[in-house]
Structure 1
């Protein structure tokens, strides 16, 4: 798959907890910092203190091959207790022209909470591109686009599996 095709993946897990227990976990932008090998920190912007449609936050990232960078994220999908989604943009122009336009994200992320018997299905989704990202630099330098896209999708999927597994454990332990 090519970067321009909008490669994506998702992971899901059944959580034996109520939506009211899971929702605060998926909308806590600081929680992924504890679970990620790449995301070092986040902070709400513009006076926001919690997830809401249009809210923005900075992300601080580090990767051994790419160094440190910041991202700007904006909440673009918000349906209380059901969907929390955001776009990620290269605010500093680390990987291409700087942007604050959510229509040109380097990635789109989303959590969906779907009611089920004895709990809910928690799904996490990511689509990379079409805006430039660290993966764009790798492809520019090394070629073999399909290999690097597949590699990045696999890394993201493993990270997402860990994240939703940790959310499940937290939600079920709180009961």
Structure 2
């Protein structure tokens, strides 16, 4: 596995709530901080009134081995109530790309969260540059960390959306 190949991971959950109900939780950029061990929160850029293509937000993160950092993300896809996708740092060469996708499923919703690492510069790039012989393991570990946080996030959204839909 190589960073240049854009490794990905994805999680999915079925939610007993309509897509419109799930969408309002997905669009709350602060919400994942309630469930993630790493993501600490986010705030929209002052020139942003609402999520839309081109909107920017600053995310705050913390990792026991890396420390704390902030990134600016750019919304690159916004199709209500279907997809919200953002690129971290440079939209043309992102450090990572993240996406929530909603799909109607009977009287509920399938919610997917997806991430692609690279190809742009990030803390992951630094780790790989230090130990290029361990690139596969470094990437797999990072994907596993993201997957754990993503599973917690979609489970949290499921709980909130189902409670609100009752």
TM-score normalized with structure 2 length:
0.94
**Distance in 2 between residues matched to 1:163 and 1:57, nearest whole Å:** 19
RMSD: 1.1
Instruction: Please give the per-residue CA displacement for 1:95-116, whole angstroms capped at 9, x wherever unaligned.
Output: xxxxxx3111110000111011
Q: Which runs of 5+ in 2 are unaligned?
A: none
Match of residue 52 from structure 1: 52
Match of residue 86 from structure 2: 86
**Distance in 1 between residues matched to 2:106 and 2:44, nearest whole Å:** 35
Task: Return the offset for 1:19.
Answer: 1.3
Q: Is 1:140 matched with 2:133?
A: no
Instruction: Please give the per-residue CA displacement for 1:31-68, whole angstroms capped at 9, x wherever unaligned.
Output: 01111211222111143233111110011112121122
TM-score normalized with structure 1 length:
0.90
- Which structure 2 residues correspond to residues 60-99 of structure 1 after superposition, within 5 A? 60-89=60-89
Task: Return the offset for 1:142.
Answer: 3.0
Q: Is 1:167 matched with 2:157?
A: yes
Q: Which runs of 5+ in 1 are unaligned?
A: 90-100
**Distance in 1 between residues matched to 2:67 and 2:49, nearest whole Å:** 28
**Secondary structure in structure 1 of the residue aligned to 2:151:** helix
